[in-house]
Structure 1
Amino acid sequence: MKLKTRIVISFFVIILEPLICASVAFWAFSQHQLNVMEEQYGIENASYDSLSNTAEVINSMTDDIAEELRETAKKDTKELENEDYLNRINGRLKEVHSYLLVREGNQIIYYGNENYSSELVKRLPPYASIEDENSEEAIDAQDNDGLYLGGTVQALVKQINFEKPDGTQGSVFIVSSILKTLPQLKALIKNMMISVVVILILTGLGLTWWIYRGVIAPLDKLRTATQKIKDGDLDFSITPEGVSEISDLCQDFEEMRQRLKETSEEKVQFDKESKELISNISHDLKTPITAIKGYVEGIMDGVANTPEKMDKYIHTIYNKANDMDRLINQLTFYTKMDTNRIPYTFNKISVTEFFNDCAEEIGMELESKGVEFNYSNYVGPEVLVIADAEQIKRVINNITSNSLKYMDSTRARRINLRVKDVGDFIQVEIEDNGKGISAKDLPNIFERFYRTDASRNSSKGGSGIGLSIVKKIMEDHGGKVWATSKENIGTVMYFVLRKYQEVYQ
């Protein structure tokens, strides 16, 4: 989910969710309080108006007391002058936010609330006309049931009229304040306030957790990962998570970490290879330099005191200088190969002419070293390839040099060069009868600085890059190189080049 979408959803949730939950809570609490009012006050079919209309409820709450006072007014008006009786009635009325006033003539003879309003007394209704319905007792009562006094009084008054035996008129007033809040309404308000607070807290916590999980937590992981990279620690991984934008950022960050790790590992490997190359080159340069120095000292000391010895010394110095020259050329080529700056010059080459010249040159060199050389060409004179003659010659020289290095000097040494026509390719095979290569080492011989036997090869010298150069040159020519070998029998190196085919239109 995108961050923008999450923010929009959060906006609507923080508005709608509290409203919906508060509405449900209000409905549940109000239904409960209405049921309580029906049971406690005897209000039938209580509605939401019952909660807001205090007058209606209070009027209902004082009905029983008003009925009792009517009965008393009919039977015994003296009780309406009895302070104990009136106090007992007034105590019951106080429980429902009401009180008694008793009037005889124009005087208030009893007041159940010391703080009653004088305005209230002025606005009390007058005596109603009394019809003598009970001539025997000459006692009657008539009332105004639920008279509302507005203005500044804000009271609900029930009037119960009576007449004493001496003919004096009186009234009992039940005065109820309609400004008092019902206990049920108070409970409803209290519950709703608590509910709203709880709903807002839960909504806030939920949205905070949702935003934290989608935004803050992934950013914390990115910050931790950045600190690790700063400290040089790249051995960790970041799992994309959170909103879409941050998930993409995590993915990009993970790819960057992997690239940094690969670059770091390549640098470590490059440094290792460079040190190994320097060590190998130093070893290889030291051997011919030592030989040249020894033969030059022999000439200077007069050891080469015959023309034959002098020729031998000079020839040896020349060969060692050539070895150094080849080594330096190989090192120069390696640096160009590592930066992909090998200077290729591709031309159409006659396979037969090229390999005949190579065989003649290699044969002379191998014969001077006491190595038997055989050359076979099975390709027609018309076959051409597109190649760099100098680099292909380097491939052949590197392979033969590698074969010579690991040949057993205790038996006759032999190298065979064969050139074959294999369809769209020409295949070159260079076979020796050396010590061979084990099956576990064979797949790795074209890697840089790989040695099948480090203890044995260190004495033989070699930079360890000859066959890797062969592989690089063949790949750049669109060909490939591989080898087969049997231990104590010999090795065969193969490489192929695509034939040149004329395109006719």
Structure 2
Amino acid sequence: MKFKTRLRVTFISIILLPLLLTIMAFVMIAIYLMNYSQGFSLTDIDYSMMSENFREFTNTTDQAYYVLLDQVKEDSSRLEDKEYLDHINEEVSRKSTYIIVRKGDKMYYAGNKDAAQKIFEKLPAYGEENLSDDSGYFYNELEKYVKQIDFTFRDGTPGSVFIVTKVNSLISRHLLIDMFVAIIVILIFTSLMLTQWIHKGVFEPINELNVAMRKIKEGNFDYVLETDAKGEIGDLYRNYEDMRLRLKESTEENTQHEKQNKELVSNISHDLKTPITAIKGYVEGIMDGVADTPEKMDKYIKTIYNKAIDMDRLINELTTYSGIDNNRIPYNFHRINVADYFGDCVEEVGLDLEQRGIKLNYSNLVSPDTVVIADPEQMKKVINNIISNSVKYMDKPNGHIDIRILDEVDAIRVEIEDNGKGIAQKDLQKIFERFYRTDASRNSAQGGSGIGLSIVKKIIEDHGGYVWATAKEGEGTCMHFVLRKYIELQPGGTK
């Protein structure tokens, strides 16, 4: 339930609930007070009397008055019959009226003895003039309306019959006190009920959310909050769940990233240690005079040079990886001729491959004027990284690498294929991931930081192309990447 709806329900409840309970309390207390004052049972009460006015009360008295007056005129001796008097009293008692019969100065009959005792001494004397007609008499201090009929008993004793009606207001002092207490109880009950409702609907969910946030603070991202609630509380719970899942994912990514960084440092350290050790050994050999012939000296110098190139390549990989990680690889795009550019690249890498005893085959099947938009330096890293991988995993004595440039209408496709150890099919989709290595147990002969192909993928995708690999285990691997051609529009809008 929304907070706005909950506030509306609370506002309406604060008004209506106490009002309804107060009306119920008023009715019950009024009935109780009338029973207490008159001595009537609940079954003897006509609840309509609570809303009757003074005229209705006097009408009740008049009805009983005329019945008794007719009886006096017809046969006054019947008023000596207490069974008859009980019958008349029972009829009028439902309207808070009762009968008193006086014989001489003694009370002969009373329909309500307790109430009659209070007014008996104040009743008018036999034959008093102001009550000799049809008018009644109102005792203000007792709040009683009285009518009198005089008659004579059979033994000659003067008698009077009085019809007494209680006309006091139901709102008495006792009623006010009881109503005040009842209203206090009603307000306390309403407050407790609404407080409990708000506590269960608002404070309990907030407390649960507070516990969940403490769990997040402690690094526990597995504390789940589930709810079917609608409104703001439900939105809070669902937002917490979204936040928890994102924080958990981010934490796991950071942990993985930290692990990868440690692995990178370990890999780079290992790969740097190998050429540094070799350089150190060959330099010591030159200093100790071991290279005592021009041929040995030339061999030592070339080895030192190659190891320095390996170190430079590793440092470049680390620099490029840092750029990938921060998405800040610097690009200088130019229009480059495909035939000229790849021809120069093949000539450059061919010398190194020749020294390693690996044959390089190159074929260009695109038009001589084919142009692409690319960064020459970054594309050179792509070619070097792929060829470096081919050399690293070459396991055959007569190794060869084929570079092919193919025409794809609106694009060119570059294929670099070797006859090395190949890659298992299960690994093909993962080789472009950072730090993924097909040889889980690295060795100094192969080494590698594990980021070369991830750099290739990043650079090719930043050029608007895509890269993939095909391979057969034991036979070799072929790397493919595609770059879109640059097609200049003619003045007429044609290509």
Pairwise same-fold verdict (TM > 0.5) = yes
Partner of residue 11, structure 1? 11
- How far 1:71 sits from its partner (Å)? 11
C-alpha contact (below 8 Å) 1:348/1:386 kept by paired residues: yes
Rounded to whole Å, the distance in 1 between the matches of 2:444 and 2:73 is 130
Which amino acid letter does the alignment assign opposite residue 487 of structure 1?
E
Rounded to whole Å, the distance in 1 between the matches of 2:28 and 2:460 is 85
Percent identity, aligned pairs only, is: 48
Residue 440 of structure 2 corresponds to residue 447 of structure 1: no
Partner of residue 74, structure 1? 76
Partner of residue 150, structure 2? 161
Rounded to whole Å, the distance in 1 between the matches of 2:287 and 2:51 is 130
- How far 1:128 sits from its partner (Å)? 7.7
Rounded to whole Å, the distance in 2 between the matches of 1:125 and 1:424 is 134
Output the TM-score relative to the length of structure 2.
Answer: 0.78
C-alpha contact (below 8 Å) 1:430/1:492 kept by paired residues: yes
Partner of residue 301, structure 2? 314
- How far 1:53 sits from its partner (Å)? 8.8
Which amino acid letter does the alignment assign opposite residue 412 of structure 1?
N
Partner of residue 280, structure 1? 267
Rounded to whole Å, the distance in 1 between the matches of 2:100 and 2:222 is 88
From 399, 412, 436, give the equivalent of 1:426: 412
Secondary structure, aligned partner of 1:460: coil
Partner of residue 257, structure 1? 244
Partner of residue 372, structure 2? 385
Rounded to whole Å, the distance in 2 between the matches of 1:398 and 1:319 is 16
C-alpha contact (below 8 Å) 1:103/1:110 kept by paired residues: yes
Which amino acid letter does the alignment assign opposite residue 481 of structure 1?
V
From 317, 330, 333, give the equivalent of 1:346: 333
Q: Provide closer, same or farther for how the CA distance between residues 165 and 426 of structure 1 changes in structure 2, counting only shifts above 3 A.
A: closer
C-alpha contact (below 8 Å) 2:416/2:480 kept by paired residues: yes
Which amino acid letter does the alignment assign opposite residue 325 of structure 2?
D
- How far 1:453 sits from its partner (Å)? 2.3
Rounded to whole Å, the distance in 1 between the matches of 2:154 and 2:30 is 50
Secondary structure, aligned partner of 2:145: strand
Residue 451 of structure 2 corresponds to residue 465 of structure 1: yes
Q: Provide closer, same or farther for how the CA distance between residues 116 and 428 of structure 1 changes in structure 2, counting only shifts above 3 A.
A: closer
Rounded to whole Å, the distance in 1 between the matches of 2:192 and 2:483 is 73
Rounded to whole Å, the distance in 2 between the matches of 1:385 and 1:76 is 134
Partner of residue 126, structure 1? 127
Rounded to whole Å, the distance in 1 between the matches of 2:384 and 2:43 is 114
Partner of residue 37, structure 2? none
Secondary structure, aligned partner of 1:449: coil
C-alpha contact (below 8 Å) 2:432/2:454 kept by paired residues: yes
Give the RMSD, CA atoms, in angstroms: 4.8
Q: Provide closer, same or farther for how the CA distance between residues 269 and 144 of structure 1 changes in structure 2, counting only shifts above 3 A.
A: farther
Secondary structure, aligned partner of 2:102: strand
**What count of residue pairs does the alignment treat as equivalent?**
471
Rounded to whole Å, the distance in 1 between the matches of 2:299 and 2:305 is 10
Q: Deviations over 1:98-134 (max 9, x none)?
A: 5746263xxx34486796459824x5573589xxxxx
Rounded to whole Å, the distance in 1 between the matches of 2:256 and 2:127 is 114
C-alpha contact (below 8 Å) 1:471/1:480 kept by paired residues: yes
Rounded to whole Å, the distance in 1 between the matches of 2:53 and 2:185 is 22
Partner of residue 503, structure 1? 489
- How far 1:199 sits from its partner (Å)? 11
Secondary structure, aligned partner of 1:357: helix
Secondary structure, aligned partner of 1:392: helix
Secondary structure, aligned partner of 1:455: coil
C-alpha contact (below 8 Å) 2:30/2:170 kept by paired residues: no
Secondary structure, aligned partner of 1:497: strand
Q: Provide closer, same or farther for how the CA distance between residues 402 and 171 of structure 1 changes in structure 2, counting only shifts above 3 A.
A: same
Rounded to whole Å, the distance in 1 between the matches of 2:8 and 2:43 is 48
C-alpha contact (below 8 Å) 1:97/1:180 kept by paired residues: no
Which sits farther off after the overlay, 239-248 or 221-230?
A: 239-248
Residue 325 of structure 2 corresponds to residue 333 of structure 1: no
Rounded to whole Å, the distance in 2 between the matches of 1:412 and 1:292 is 27
- How far 1:256 sits from its partner (Å)? 3.2
Structure 1: state its 5+ residue gaps.
130-141
Structure 2: state its 5+ residue gaps.
35-39
Rounded to whole Å, the distance in 1 between the matches of 2:27 and 2:489 is 90
Rounded to whole Å, the distance in 2 between the matches of 1:289 and 1:214 is 70
Which sits farther off after the overlay, 344-353 or 295-304?
A: 295-304
Secondary structure, aligned partner of 1:374: strand
Q: Deviations over 1:216-268 (max 9, x none)?
A: 34322321221111111112444576564444444444433333223212211
Rounded to whole Å, the distance in 2 between the matches of 1:299 and 1:156 is 142
- How far 1:313 sits from its partner (Å)? 1.1
Which amino acid letter does the alignment assign opposite residue 398 of structure 2?
A
Output the TM-score relative to the length of structure 1.
Answer: 0.77
